[in-house]
Structure 1
């Protein structure tokens, strides 16, 4: 499916300090799954979905990652921003500031591992749900150290983002987002208001009375530790077995 008028972006500006403590001495986006670095895998998935280019934001302490992105033979051009930011939200806001012509975008963090066919269905659903200002991947699979719980109604409209689960909360955030212009504008306002976490921005979307819908992925694996790579590789192997 060719995605019209949508940009694709990856936040790869984190330090990856937990992986370094465990002996992986390269930036987290270069951690390989089945021999393919995390960030290359994302770029390949985006290219397969019709991305004309991929925007990537990295920090200034990642020369190996910068070199990889500048010299790699990718299917699509890489638009690179090198900047130290205070949080993922600040990284997203910088992407929006640098691209005021975006009408919609798909954003992921670099350590989010998902099945391509579910991602394809997610993008198709976003295109169909034109009334959604924001479209969040959610999953019942919880492996994050500090998950953001997502409460929805029966039609998967998001009603609350919670730090702790309630009895009827089924999902957590998957770290994959699609946004239209009103949501991107809200990100800029959220940073200006002093917010410094993606979850607080997501709450601001609801406070601004924007329509925020969810799409359920069977499983999304978050890479924080080396042991998570084993889980992710097993998960991806299940897809092709």
Structure 2
């Protein structure tokens, strides 16, 4: 499996709330959160890992450059206007065929839940274009709601507002295949931005996406979220 991590945000809210370290280097379990994520990926058959950080994150870049990883590793240093554009930058590390998993550095989940997700994606039925991590635990300021077809977990849409029968929101974990990169290329070419709009474009393009539920996913956006994430992963 090929993996990518988007760590290109500024983390300005954490800075404003008194957190001195850049977000990717915040300690959650004795490791910086980005190292924890890398280790989880290495434990799940990582053929390669690509990471993007912005040009201002010199401390994060230096930390990543110091790592010795037992897999192919590509570090992209570039400031981008959105997470979708960050995805575009790291997508160049992906092979023309095969599967890959992308997530953001502040998406916090349990390692065993992620392992189950990767195994399911690796063994997905033929014709499946993606496995999108979702959760029914809503602790996001602006969640993206996921609509699935009745009686299945096939995704039929992504919505900004809650709706009747809604069960899941996007968890920020994207398992995709090569056709999704064609859609990404089109989005970049037509000026579409933001990951949520890209996800809508995947559905509109006819790609078959399955929702895979995680019991809980925590986003680290504020200083108080750090304690929540630490408690969650150490339970």
Q: TM tier, shorter chain?
A: over 0.9
1:17 matches 2:7: no
CA contact (8 A) 1:7 1:104 kept: yes
For normalisation by structure 2, the TM-score amounts to 0.95
User: How far apart, in 1, do the equivalents of 2:49 and 2:219 lie?
Assistant: 21
The answer for the alignment partner of 1:172 in structure 2 is 169
Answer yes or no: is 1:66 the counterpart of 2:61.
yes
- The structure 1 segments of at least 4 consecutive aligned residues displaced by more than 6 Å after TM superposition are none
Q: Look up the match of 2:207.
A: 210
Aligned equivalents of 2:89, 2:45: Cα separation in 1:
24
Residues 136-147 of structure 1 correspond to what in structure 2 (within 5 A)? 136-147=132-143
Give 1:158's match in structure 2, choosing from 155, 159, 173: 155
The number of residue pairs the alignment matches comes to 233
Residue 120 of structure 2: aligned partner: 125
Match of 1:51 in 2: 46
1:107 aligns with 2:102: yes
Instruction: Please tell me whether the aligned partners of residues 74 and 93 of structure 2 are also in contact (alpha carbons under 8 angstroms).
Output: no
Q: Which 5+ residue runs of structure 2 have no aligned equivalent?
A: none
Q: CA separation of 1:99/1:120 partners in 2, compared to 1, >3 Å: closer, same or farther?
A: closer
TM-score by length of 1: 0.92
Unaligned runs of 5+ in 1: 1-5
Q: Offset at 1:73?
A: 4.2
**Pairwise CA RMSD of aligned residues?**
1.4
